[in-house]
Amino acid sequence: MTNLVEFHLANGLLVLLKPIHTSPVATFWIWYRVGSRNEVPGCTGVSHWVEHMLFKGTPTFHKGEIFRLVNRNGGVNNALTFTDFTNYHETLPCDRIDLALQIESDRMVNALFDPAEVASERTVIISEREGAENDPRFWLDEAVQAETFKVHPYHHETFGWKNDLQAITRDDLFRHYKKYYAPNNAVVVVAGDFDSVELRTKIESMFGMIPRKETIPSVLCVEPTQTSERRVTVQRPAPTSYFQTNYHGPSTSTPDFFPVLVLKSALSGVSLMSYDGKGAVSKSSRLYRALVETELASDVNCGFRMTLDPGTIEVTATARRDVDMARIERTIFDELKKIQCELITDEEFDQIVKQTEAQFVYANDGISNWGYWLGILEMVASHKMSESFLDKVRCVTKADVMRVAAQYLAETNRTVGWLVPK
C-alpha cells in the first residue's frame, strides 16, 4: 500500500502508520485481539465490561480525565467491543496526538479496576443490555445466534447473558484484562498528518518498555458441521412479527469470502463499513423487490460481516401487519433458491462492482476511516487485504456466486427464527 509504514516492536506490538497530509488532524487506534469470541460460559460479556473499566482510571489518568483531556485538546475519543476485537481511539489535532499515545500506553497496563467502580458499572452494563432488549429484533437475533452456534463462542451476544453480568466479579474482570491486554496481542494504527520517523520514535519510547506476555490463550473451538435445519420461535411483546434465518458462512481469510460478499450484495446491497455487515438496502436488490415492493415486509436485509472464524450469512425481515409469516418465509427462500440455480445478470454484477468501488472509496475517505479499516482487516485477516480488495471483488465470476449460494444457502445449513408478538 502506498506510503504505509509497518513495523513490530521487540515486545510484539504491530504498528501501522498511514501519513495523510490533507488536514492537520491525526487519529490513533489501538486494537486488541479480544472480544466476545474469547469468553467462556459463565463469564460472557466480560470483554465489553473490561472496555468500560478502562475509562475508570489509572494512577496517572483519574476517572473521567481521559474524556476531559481529549475534549479540552479539541479531539474526540471512543471505544468498541465486538466478537473478534476491542478497540480504543482518539482523533486529535496533529500537534496533540502525543496525548493519545500517553493514554493508551498507560491504560494498557495500569487500569485500576476499583471495586466500587466495578459495582457502579455493573448497573450501566446491564442497562445497556436492557436498552437493546427494547427492540424485539434483539431477542430474535440472540435466540437464532445461540441456536446457530452450539460450540463456538460466536453463539452469544457481545453484551453477554444477563445472569452472567449479575455474577461477574472484579477479579473476573481483572484477570481478563491481564490475560489479553498486552503489546503482543495488540495492533496500533495511526493515520493523519505526522512525520513517520518522528512518530515511530515516540511509539517505541512509550510502548516499547511494556513487557510482552508469553501466553495469550487461543480459541480452539471449531463449530461442527450443521446437518439439518434448526428452528426457534420467540414470543415477546412486539408491534409485528419478525423473521431471521442464519446460514453458516466463510471467514474473511478464505477464498469464498469475496464470492459470498458479492452474493450478499445481489440479495440486499453493498456494505463494507457497517459493524453488522448489513448497511443500507439497495432498492434494486432481489430481496427488496420481492418483499418490500410487494408489501409483504416493511424491511428486509441480508448481512454478512467480516469475522476471524466462520461466521454467518443472515437474512432478516419485518412483516407488515396481518401478513402471514409463512408467506414471507416462502418468498425469501424462493429468492435464495433462484440465486442458487441461475447466474446473476451482467447488469446486477456491474452494479455490485460499481457500488463496492464507491463504498471502498468512502471507507478510505477520511482519516478516522483509515484507522478503522486497516485495524478491522488486521483483526479478522490481514491489513494487506486493503491493497487487493477491489481486484478480488472484480475477479469474482457469476459462476462463483452461484456456487457459493448453493453451498452456503442450503436448507441443512440454516437456522430459522420467528418472533411472534405475545
Spatial distance between the Cα atoms of 49 and 327, rounded to a whole number of angstroms: 41
Whether the Cβ atoms of residue 290 and residue 302 lie closer than 8 Å to each other:
no
Whether the Cβ atoms of residue 220 and residue 404 lie closer than 8 Å to each other:
no
Which residues, 6+ apart, have CB-to-CB distance to 305 below 8 Å? 274, 275, 276, 277, 311
For residue 215, the model assigns a pLDDT of 87
**Residue ranges of the chain with per-residue pLDDT less than 70:** 1, 272-279
Whether the Cβ atoms of residue 227 and residue 410 lie closer than 8 Å to each other:
no
Half-sphere exposure of 148 (CA within 13 A, CB side): 27
For residue 90, the model assigns a pLDDT of 98
For residue 284, the model assigns a pLDDT of 87
For residue 273, the model assigns a pLDDT of 62
Residue type, 247: Y
* Domain 230-421 listed as CATH 3.30.830.10: yes
Q: Which residues pair with 28 in a beta bridge?
A: 90, 190
Helix H or strand E segment including 268: helix 257-268
Cα 294 → chain centroid: 32
Spatial distance between the Cα atoms of 381 and 310, rounded to a whole number of angstroms: 12
For residue 348, the model assigns a pLDDT of 92
For residue 366, the model assigns a pLDDT of 83
CATH number belonging to domain 5-207:
3.30.830.10
For residue 365, the model assigns a pLDDT of 79
**Which ranges in the chain are annotated with CATH 3.30.830.10?**
5-207, 230-421
Which residues, 6+ apart, have CB-to-CB distance to 400 below 8 Å? 259, 262
Which residues, 6+ apart, have CB-to-CB distance to 167 below 8 Å? 42
C-alpha cell at 168: 461477574
For residue 274, the model assigns a pLDDT of 56
| 343 φ, ψ (degrees, to nearest 5) | -65, 140
Closest-CA residue to 2 (of 393, 384, 375, 395): 384
For residue 364, the model assigns a pLDDT of 76
Cα 67 → chain centroid: 24
